[in-house]
Amino acid sequence: MAKLHLVIGNKNYSSWSLRPWMALTMAHIPFDETVIPLYQPQSSKLICEHSAAGKVPILHHGKITVWESLAILEYLADAFPERKLWPGGKAARAAARSAATEMHSGFVALRNACPMNLRRPCKAIAMSEAVRTDVARIDALWRQCRNAHGRKGRFLFGPFSNADAMFAPVVTRFNTYDVKVSGESRAYMEAVLATPAFKTWEKAAREEPWTIPREEIE
């Protein structure tokens, strides 16, 4: 079988790139990676050499190319069913896919106000009502998933799944901007932040030489 090749952006800032990288790493699926720094003079050209969509992440698997984080996660679940990237059980899978899709399409206020930035010192910022609404919904959703399906592990549906990969950047945002959440959600965040996969990503992010000024929120 051809080896996977994941094309990603800066590890410090690229929340969409973190998602499939975490899924692959947590599932122990071997892959090569290429990091393309974003918002550099050659960034668009280099990314378009991998996908006409012009955005990261991009997954190559032999002659197959998959783009968009959620599509990549679905492809991985199909290609590696033994890795159980979605939880077992019809109800749990439905809930996990619903949560992942809600993350993919929603929470714009939070994304805009609190961009992922792993090098930023942890410090709170003033939040608009729209951001507070996003935070409250995510907090409630995490607790709902944990209470209904998460009793056999530390993650949303017990073992780490694609749903956790989708929410990993939100975990970093809540941590970086010192967002207050319930004790249950904070315990979930600590579980994600403590994974060897995330620690490896974070270390690489802190060592990157590139800075994107628009993503630096004081």
- What does the mean pLDDT of the chain come to? 97
Nearest CA to 98 out of 192, 163, 164, 154 is that of 163
Rounded to whole angstroms, the Cα distance separating 93 from 186 reads: 23
42 burial via Cβ count (<10 Å: 0-12, 13-18, 19+): exposed
Topology of the domain covering 90-200: Glutathione S-transferase Yfyf (Class Pi); Chain A, domain 2 (1.20.1050)
pLDDT at 218 over 90: no
Handedness of CA 46, 47, 52, 58 (dihedral sign): positive
Question: What is the per-residue pLDDT across 30-76, written as a single tens digit (0 to 9) for each?
Answer: 999 999 999 999 999 999 999 999 999 999 999 999 999 999 999 99
Residue 116: per-residue pLDDT: 98
Letter string b/e over residues 59-93, b meaning 16 or more CB atoms within 10 A of that residue's CB:
bbbeeebbbbbbebbbbbbebbeebebbbeeeebb
Q: In angstroms, how far is CA 196 from the centroid of its own chain? A: 15
Tokens, residue 112: 């805009």
Gap between the Cα atoms of 122 and 129, Å rounded: 21
CATH 3.40.30.10 spans which residues of the chain?
Answer: 4-83
- Every domain of the chain with CATH number 1.20.1050.10 lies at 90-200
Provide the token pair at 86: 């979605």
Tell me yes or no: is domain 4-83 CATH 3.40.30.10: yes
For the stretch 93-145, pLDDT in tens is 999 999 999 999 999 999 999 999 999 999 999 999 999 999 999 999 999 99
Distance CA 118, CA 11 (A): 8
pLDDT tens profile 13-34:
999 999 999 999 999 999 999 9
Contacts of residue 8, defined as CB under 8 A and 6 or more positions apart, other chains included, come to 14, 17, 21, 33, 34, 35, 36, 56, 57
pLDDT band for position 152 (cuts 50, 70, 90)? very high
This model's pTM is above 0.85: yes
